[in-house]
Amino acid sequence: MSRAQPEQQAPPVQKLRIQYAKRGRLRFTSHRDVSRAIERAIVRAGIPMAYSSGFHPHPRISYAGASPTGAASEAEYVELGLAEVLDPAAVGRELDGALPEGLDVVATVDAATSRPGSLSDLLSGSRWRIETGSGAGLAEAVEAFLAKDSVTVERMTKKGLRSFDCRAAVVTLTVVEDGVLELLLEHAVPAVRPDDVMTGLRESTGWSAEAQPLLTRLDQGTLDRAAAVLADPLATR
């Protein structure tokens, strides 16, 4: 006996793009737990979501460019597909009120009026603050690292141990305060993370931090590598 076909769901009538921050102790929360918190908040806020078709419909939520566990961020992004047309600012306020402390809505826009392209495609670079806790010799180590054409590092991934060049993804790396770096990073394939850059800095120059560096994503957007700037992915057309 053939299985009955599932009911087809209506497509979203509106897509909202939301920038949110991950602060405080929530820097140690995994992306899976953050996404669960957002989805529970959507239910509590009563936001009318559109759903996918199939035997197991799920709300149309798309995450892009999530920061790694252990990093705080002022620029995380999610896109919601809605079943009703609503005021973006009102949705942002309702969602912010339903989220746990440490997850905060920064901005909400209608995707139809923001820059064209998928949200993932618009996030091609990130700016990071790295608090190393150790300023001695840092400027010299950064200069030596940037002078290299390539710096190979290894990281364990789901597919096993991988080796890749972390230097190529670094657009700028500067000492902005004693023991504090600012990093502009291109989103490359394979992905290079700020902790990979710190590993490369240590292994290629011999410099090391006195403690585990604290990572905070300051910004995320469309990278103009030549100008070393990021364009706001939520900007209007």
Strand stretches in the chain, DSSP E: 14-22, 61-64, 71-82, 103-110, 125-131, 152-157, 160-165, 170-177, 180-186, 214-224, 229-231
The overall average pLDDT reported for the chain is 93
Q: How far apart are CA 161 and CA 152, in angstroms?
A: 13
Q: pLDDT confidence of 1, banded at 50, 70, 90?
A: very low
At residue 44, the pLDDT reads 97
The pLDDT value given to residue 196: 95
Give the tokens for residue 145: 């690292």
Q: Where are the alpha helices (DSSP H) in 78-225?
A: 88-98, 119-122, 138-146, 194-205
pLDDT band at 3 (very low <50, low <70, confident <90, very high): low
The DSSP call for residue 236 is B
CB 201 within 8 A of CB 141: yes
All domains of the chain, ordered by start, with CATH? 14-113 (3.30.70.580), 122-231 (3.30.70)
pLDDT at site 156: 81
CB 62 within 8 A of CB 50: no
pLDDT for residue 54 is more than 90: no
Residues 6+ apart with CB under 8 A from 153: 163, 164, 166, 196, 199, 200, 203
Condensed to tens digits (0 to 9), the pLDDT of residues 140-150 reads 999 999 999 99
**Residue 207: strand, helix, or coil:** coil
